[in-house]
A and B are shown apart, each in its own frame.
Chain A
């Protein structure tokens, strides 16, 4: 009896195999995938549209006529854009260099060492610019420099902006460097000392080369944050100190929405994306 085949309903062939049941994915939550995809799409759609219309031949930012690079051409030949770009680059490059050097030193002092008195306080101070809302920093910095100018007749010109940028760049450079330092094997430096390397030579031959990816990542982030800054720059900048974001703002208020603005925006986006990618690639290549 048991060996007899089970009676099959009519019309079903015996050769048909049952599909194997899907294995139980313990991590799956229904709908989450859809939301995630929608999120990603929503994050990129506006940017994609903006970039797309920078290649639009007509003046409209919403109705597509045909492909053209005219707006990029006008951006590249625009003298005001040149000035703004020069200011942006000057400020950001100097701020990046100074903040990265300072942040490297700070990271070396606060990572992988036995806690020393005042370390937590120092760490908090280094990260302070991150905790203060940007508008507060902006007005505070404005007040500071106007006080210097009014009472002590001190004005650094574009140096004011460079200083202001350096301050908030420091924590952004600090984080990746600190992360990289924490990942580093402490015994490597002990091994170097064991092999007759003085502290300075240990730093130059072992610590610094291994730290370089972190420093590069930190520098890239500091540059982006400075290059993209708007609020602080707007309040602190004096005449003739227009940066690219400030220029965009000015254009929006003067000429309204134009594809030229789209073009400049697209260029700035490209720079940011490039630097983030660089920082990412370097950061993910751990322990070479």
Chain B
């Protein structure tokens, strides 16, 4: 009787299959080298001094992070709390939040409707919603810009109706950014919601009706709780990119309405403060990671609850 044991099994498997590490190696190397290393460099940069013509000087300082909250008077050396950057962060969170909520309110009925179509129609709907998902964000934002400008269609239409006699300023306002964000991210909310609702066992709704529930109650007490994974995924998919949005605030907000995204980009452009930009990029990343961790915990919990 021969004892083969675990060694023979692994030797066998190693010959039988190409090493997994060889297969996944290239992907890991590329992402580690050109994805993770840059992030580490950004982190390092946030602790350096800004170079005079852009770039950095290799001296350690926490000035960048201090700069975020405080302004140091160069003459008197006094430190004063400035809310400007916090305001920008707050505006970004607010805009991203409102966008997420609105997308949810509009997206849920849409996804529900799609999920309750007969299968042949369903594919068509998914296809139609998916297309805007994959088209160029810049172009789509431009399309919104066309509509809300002073000479744009909205104003043209209102003028033609006689409701107004001068074009109303929509472009370059917070509202414009909000509209842009809504338009950009609506498919990002609908698709995960649809994925969740499509798997819903409608026999549960049937059972609810059998137990005297109204349509509204069935919706609130059965459908929505069961669609929770999709709701959370959709909210995350809208909030996180929305928070770091760059194209929309630049194109639709003009130069003055800044969100985190273009504030960061500014530091690497005309403001020439790379450490500060890096610091803010990292704060943004921290917020995103927080949101993702909360998501991971909530899905873990919901898995336990729904079995």
Contact = CB atoms under 8 A, between A and B. Distances in A.
B139 A268 contact: yes
A150 B35 contact: no
B196 interface: no
B24 A199 contact: no
B27 A140 contact: no
B74 to A, nearest CB: 26
Contact of B244 (A63, A109, A133, A224): A133
B137 A230 contact: yes
Interface in B180-230: 183, 186-187, 190, 202, 205-206, 209, 215, 219
A29 B109 contact: yes
Where chain B touches its partner, the secondary structure class is: helix
A249 interface: yes
Q: Which of B107, B130, B146, B240 has the most CB of A within 10 A?
A: B146
Interface stretch (A4-12, A68-76, A99-107, A180-188): A99-107
B81 interface: no
B136 A269 contact: yes
Interface string A48-61: 01100100000011
A140 B138 contact: no
Interface in B221-275: 240-241, 243-244, 246-247, 251, 260-261, 264-265, 268, 274
Contacts of B128: 40, 44
Contact of B146 (A108, A134, A136, A257): A257
Interface stretch (A77-85, A160-168, A208-216): A160-168
Contact of A252 (B142, B190, B209, B243): B142
B23 A108 contact: yes
Contacts of B145: 257
A248 B132 contact: no
Given A132-B285, A140-B42, A140-B281, A146 B55 contact: yes
B113 interface: yes
Given A32-B109, A134-B246, A27 B281 contact: no
A143 B278 contact: yes
Given A133-B288, A235-B268, A276-B130, A39 B23 contact: no
B95 to A, nearest CB: 14
Nearest to A166: B30
B133 to A, nearest CB: 8
B24 A109 contact: yes
Contacts of A221: 134
Contacts of B112: 29, 32
Q: Which of B34, B274, B277 has the most CB of A within 10 A?
A: B34
B123 interface: yes
Where chain A touches its partner, the secondary structure class is: helix
Contact of A269 (B16, B135, B144): B135
Contacts of B143: 46-47, 49-50, 265
Nearest to A203: B18
A60 B241 CA distance: 33
Interface in A216-234: 221, 224-225, 228, 230-231
A171 B215 CA distance: 40
B80 to A, nearest CB: 27
A179 interface: no
B239 to A, nearest CB: 11
Interface of B: 16-18, 20-21, 23-28, 30-32, 34-39, 41-42, 45, 55, 106-107, 109-110, 112-114, 116, 123, 127-132, 134-140, 142-147, 149, 151-153, 156, 183, 186-187, 190, 202, 205-206, 209, 215, 219, 240-241, 243-244, 246-247, 251, 260-261, 264-265, 268, 274, 277-278, 281, 284-285, 288, 292
Across the A-B interface, the 7 shortest Cβ-Cβ residue pairs: A133-B244, A46-B143, A144-B38, A140-B38, A109-B23, A36-B113, A32-B109
Interface of A: 26-33, 35-36, 39-40, 42-44, 46-47, 49-50, 53, 60-63, 101-103, 105-106, 108-110, 113, 116, 119, 122, 125-126, 128-129, 131-144, 146-147, 150, 163-164, 166-168, 170, 174, 199, 221, 224-225, 228, 230-231, 235, 245, 248-249, 252, 257, 261, 265, 268-269, 272-273, 275-277, 280, 284
